[in-house]
Amino acid sequence: MSVKSQLISTAQWYGGAGFPVFPIHWPEQDGCSCRKSDCPSPAKHPLTPHGFQDASQDRAMITEWWSRWPAANIGLTTGTPSGLLVVDIDPRNGGDRSLQTVIAKNGNLPATAQQFTGGGGRHFFFRYSGGRVPKTLAEGIDLKGDGGYVVIAPSRHYSGGDYRWAGEEGKESLLRLAEAPDWLQTFIATPKNDGPHPEPKNADGKFGKGQRNNRLTSLAGTMQRCGMAPEAIETALLEENQQNCDPPLPDGEVRRIVASVGRYAPITVSVSVSSNDDSGFAQVGVATRRAL
């Protein structure tokens, strides 16, 4: 299969599996396909007008994009739309050293989908109910949630390398994701002094524009992890929206949040065997399944 045929067929597979994708500029012999000599993000920035906000699962849309740009790299949106949290390790900025420090403090990351980037980095993918995440976990380690995206295999890096999945399952490892470890979820939930944050609009604590969606998504994820039924989550979120959001979101938007979070059944974990591969991570048998 040619590279271009592989790109379009794989992009269609991601969309069909429930992961919204969009086309990204690709590397050319003299740089980025955008043809800008000073491109700040070669082969990593979107081709569509609104970037990751244009991401789609629709096969017809995906086919149209890659028919127009057959060499386009594949962008995968993170956070609520895809149910993905990505831990991005950049060894050029000390990510590998930081990762060893994180492991020493918190223990190994659970076995989950892992991608090697074309530039020598790694992406670890975890199930995620959505919401804002801190940009940085440690030096050289970024987190990708709502409002983010990653370039994904079989895309090509401008350095000449290819993005590729680790392990024999390849891209299908995305269908059996582990949930983020407790310590990482605690880190995400702990307020950080990483810049200004929007405050509730009113002194009585109601959530204004810029906070409503994240608030409801986070609340829905908490209820889902507690095993609440989708109908109960929807009822509670509609009430929360009316009582504590100012102005309230449209009911249809609230139901979309519930539907997005509800795509993932509570994770069931069964540990069978524990060993270390040459990446230093404990490979624990994790029985999980993504609800599509």
Determine the Cα–Cα distance for residues 98 and 192; give it in Å rounded to an integer. 19
- Any domain includes 245: no
| Span 59-94, pLDDT tens digits | 999 999 999 999 999 999 999 999 999 999 999 999
Domain count, the chain: 1
- Any domain includes 267: no
DSSP-derived 3-state class of residue 237: helix
- Any domain includes 75: yes
Output the CA–CA distances (angstroms, integers) from residue 150 to 60, 121, 139, in the order listed: 22, 12, 18
Determine the Cα–Cα distance for residues 234 and 21; give it in Å rounded to an integer. 27
Range of the domain at 176: 3-189
Query: What spatial distance separates the first Cα and last Cα of the chain, rounded to whole Å?
Result: 28
- Any domain includes 257: no
| Span 7-56, pLDDT tens digits | 999 999 999 999 999 999 999 988 999 999 889 999 999 999 998 999 99
Determine the Cα–Cα distance for residues 157 and 42; give it in Å rounded to an integer. 8
- Any domain includes 30: yes
- Any domain includes 38: yes
Question: E strands within the chain?
Answer: 21-24, 27-28, 31-32, 73-77, 84-89, 114-116, 122-127, 136-138, 141-144, 149-152, 164-165, 178-179
Alpha helices per DSSP H over the chain = 3-16, 59-68, 95-106, 182-189, 212-225, 230-244, 251-262
The pair of structure tokens assigned to 42 is 């070669």
For residues 136-166, b (16+ Cβ closer than 10 Å) or e, as one string? ebbebbbbbbbebbbbbbbbbbbeeeebebb
Predicted TM-score of the model (pTM): 0.67
Give the pLDDT of the chain (292 residues) as one tens digit per residue: 677 889 999 999 999 999 999 999 999 988 999 999 889 999 999 999 998 999 999 999 999 999 999 999 999 999 999 999 999 999 999 999 999 999 999 999 999 999 999 889 999 999 988 788 999 999 999 999 998 999 999 999 998 899 999 988 999 999 999 999 999 998 988 876 554 444 444 545 677 776 787 778 878 877 776 777 888 888 888 988 888 888 888 888 888 888 877 665 444 333 333 344 444 443 433 333 333 3
- Is the Cα torsion angle 128, 116, 30, 140 positive or negative in sign? positive
- Any domain includes 217: no
The pair of structure tokens assigned to 116 is 């090697």
- Any domain includes 292: no
